[in-house]
Amino acid sequence: MIGASVMGDKAVSRQGGAGRTTVIYWEKWTGDEATEMRKVVDAFNKSQDKIYVRYLSISGVDTKTMLATAGGNPPDIAGIWLDQLCEFSDAKALTDLSPMAKAAGLGPDTYIKGYWDPLNYRGGLWALPSTPASIALHVRTDLVPKEYGSPETFPKTIEALDEMAMKISKKRENGDLEMAGFLPSNPGWWNFAWGIYFGASLFDGDKLTLDSPENVRAFKWVDKYAKTFGSKEVQSFQSGFGTFASPQDPFMQGKVATELNGVWKASYIHVYKPDTQWFAVPFPYPADRKDLAGHSELSQDVLTIPRGAKHPQEAFEFIKFVQRQDVMEGLCKGHGKNSPLEKVSEEFFKTHRNKFIRLFDSLARSPKAFSPPQIGILPQLQNEMNVAFQEVNTQQKSPDQALHDAQNRVSDLWTTYKDQVLNK
């Protein structure tokens, strides 16, 4: 922070070319995802001669953006996660994009509602999407019974999924798990959201509802899996799982027959085990809650302009460029994701690597699609729900107790946050 303050622009920028304004863009992506965004940056730099965008892959981009903003020398564009948007907005770390977006003709009609709404918070528009995602249940065709081996015939309710999962799971002679039909703890990225699949909410705009009956029901369902498979057996089994971006991924290896995962999963399958036989379906709903059919969590990587950025107008020019339908579709296709835009070309669907891209697009448009709650302490809330999930999954606490403790803890944090950050 001291270095950035003292060195000023020199710390983060270099001249991009004579007479051009250099826009510094910090992004979390590395590898193939970074390559795809670099293509967009290159296309933008070639498209005009006034602005030069310099793309920098930054690890811990959120923390570094916050510190650089505090030091008075932030990047012009920061690519962060949607989950942090409210926290950054409450901390006054971002520039309100409303006037620029309005002038550029970007508004609610441009985007799928489920992606547009979470970008708006407390009267401001704090980001625009780079790439979004929706999630669905991925199924290994060769590991489920033949009668369930297609999207049309696969179980529609959670109860039917459970029955199938228990039936096809295999144990070794020593009791170790060999293959699991389904595991709520795999991949473990959305543990906080299980209740929502049972009709729960986590936050009603003022009060937290982590221990609502629907959340308790969801955690009892998690508890059932831990008890049936054996908590220790599940932990041991999962500790042998490789990372999702490798051939050791449990779904690709056939260690799990079904897995809740994002639209990007197909890209990894394509790279690491292209012969995998799979399909995707919306995650099942509870038998007594047919109204929840078609629910999916939506997530987004977003582009923001930190407060105090030197070239906000020029930065927005680049962000606006990314929102162009052809550019956005190229980027999303490169990342293996669906598009956040309301209008999607037929070409996008036809040439996408994910053969179920239409499903992910329709899930994003579903009225039951949901985003993480808009609350400035979302990282803490997710963390506490994760802890509660692990306490249940490792049989340390009952679902009621774990959620009761999480509710108390997050409520205390929320009270302090309201007092200290929101000044309520």
Partner 1 sequence: MRGRDARVGILFAMPWIMGFLIFMAYPLVASLVTSFTNFSILRPPSFIGIDNYKELFHDQVFYKSLGNTLLYVLGAVPLTTVAAIALALLLNTKVKGMSFYRTMFFLPTLVPMVALGTLFLWVFNGDYGLLKAGFAKVHMSSPNWLGDPAWSKWTLILISMWGCGQAMVIYLAGLQDVPVSLYEAAELDGAKAWAKTKNVTLPMISPVILFNVVMGIIGALQIFAVPYIMFPNGAPARSAYFYAMYLYDNAFQYQRMGYASAMGWVLFLITLTLTLIALKLSNKHVHYESN
Restricted to residues 378-397, the positions that interact with partner 1 (CB under 8 A) are 379-380, 383, 386-387, 390-391, 393-394, 396
Residue selected from 138, 140, 307, 320 as contacting partner 1 according to rule CB under 8 A: 307
Q: Which of residues 336-375 bind partner 1 (CB under 8 A)?
A: none
Q: Is position 93 an interface residue for partner 1 (rule: CB under 8 A)? A: yes
Q: Which stretch binds partner 1 (CB under 8 A): 110-118, 160-168, 238-246, 364-372?
A: 238-246
Tell me which of 34, 67, 245, 293 binds partner 1, using CB under 8 A: 67
* Per-residue x/- track, 241-270, partner 1 (CB under 8 A): x-----------------------------
Rounded to a whole number of angstroms, the minimum distance from the CB of residue 90 to partner 1 is 8
**HSE value, Cβ hemisphere, 13 Å, CA-based, for 399:** 20
Mark 69-88 with x for binding to partner 1 (rule: CB under 8 A) and - for no binding: xx----------------x-
CB of 207 to partner 1, least distance (A): 20
Q: Which is nearer to partner 1, 235 or 398 (CB)?
A: 235
Q: Does 141 bind partner 1 (CB under 8 A)?
A: no
Nearer to partner 1, 102 or 232 (CB): 232
Among 31, 239, 346, 424, binds partner 1 (CB under 8 A): 239
Of 99, 313, 412, 422, which lies in the binding site for partner 1, with binding defined by CB under 8 A? 412
Q: Does 223 bind partner 1 (CB under 8 A)?
A: no
| Single-letter code of the amino acid located at 398 | S
Is residue 96 near partner 1 by the rule CB under 8 A?
A: no
Position among 26, 116, 197, 237 found at the interface with partner 1 (CB under 8 A): 237
Q: Which is nearer to partner 1, 79 or 155 (CB)?
A: 79
313 binds partner 1 (CB under 8 A): no
Instruction: Pick the closer one to partner 1 by CB: 32 or 405.
Output: 405
Number of residues that bind partner 1 (CB under 8 A): 36
CB of 420 to partner 1, least distance (A): 4
How far is residue 317's CA from residue 21's CA, in Å, rounded to a whole number?
12
Q: What is the dihedral of CA 417, 419, 423, 424, to 10 degrees?
A: 110
Regarding 400 and contact with partner 1 (CB under 8 A), the answer is: no
Using CB under 8 A as the criterion, which residues of the chain lie in contact with partner 1 when the complex forms?
A: 63, 66-67, 69-70, 87, 91-93, 174, 232, 235-241, 307, 377, 379-380, 383, 386-387, 390-391, 393-394, 396, 405, 409, 412, 416, 420-421
